[in-house]
Structure 1
């Protein structure tokens, strides 16, 4: 147990943290997709997918009902992924060695 805590966990913590941030965007898109299809959380709970789905019938006369939550979803997922990529660049020791040469 002590070897795991002292040797292995410090070495994999950074990788797990970066991977978690990169997977978070994927999970948000999957939840929004399921909620859009009506397969997600109960209908009374607001989610990205249910917000986009609520404007489906008004796409031609009030397009902003679906468009604005869709744009916000794209911005959220893009910012999380860019944060994860930046975190990977900062924490990856192999990139630090290659960049210093």
Structure 2
């Protein structure tokens, strides 16, 4: 959701704004735009990238859930949730119709979560020692 991204951006900006190198740049007379592009924006971007990857998994699960309930795109649009819903009717005769879309949803959601965790570990300066 937009407020979560705004909260992350604001928090990162407030922290970066108080760093010594930003205060030194301001004391040297660097324009606000230069400080923003050179010092603050590079410190705000990594948390937003991590937030985006973690939210992608939620978006995929939400879209699949709505499509499973019949509230998503209508056929013939391919949608994992709709495939899962259709495959549910044939679970005894053709179990792959339900398990393959379910596994795809699971693997993609877990993959985006692992990507977000990895990016957080790589980009968060507080976790580096």
For normalisation by structure 1, the TM-score amounts to: 0.87
- 2: CA distance between counterparts of 1:49 and 1:63? 15
Spell out, residue by residue over 1:47-78, the C-alpha distance to the aligned partner (whole angstroms, 9 max, x if none): 11011112121112211111111012101111
- 1: CA distance between counterparts of 2:120 and 2:70? 35
| Structure 2 gap ranges (5+) | 1-31
Correspondences of 1:7-86 after superposition (within 5 Å): 7-86=39-118
* Structure 1 residue 42, shift from structure 2 partner: 2.5
Query: Are positions 1:95 and 2:121 aligned together?
Result: no
Spell out, residue by residue over 1:13-61, the C-alpha distance to the aligned partner (whole angstroms, 9 max, x if none): 0000000001100000000001111101232210110111121211122
Which of structures 1 and 2 has the larger relative contact order (alpha carbons within 8 angstroms, sep 6+)? 1
Aligned length: 97
- 2: CA distance between counterparts of 1:24 and 1:57? 29
Q: Which moved more, 1:4-13 or 1:21-30?
A: 4-13
Q: In 2 relative to 1, CA 39–93 (structure 1 residues): closer, same or farther, beyond 3 Å? A: same
* Structure 1 residue 6, shift from structure 2 partner: 3.4
Q: CA RMSD in A?
A: 1.4
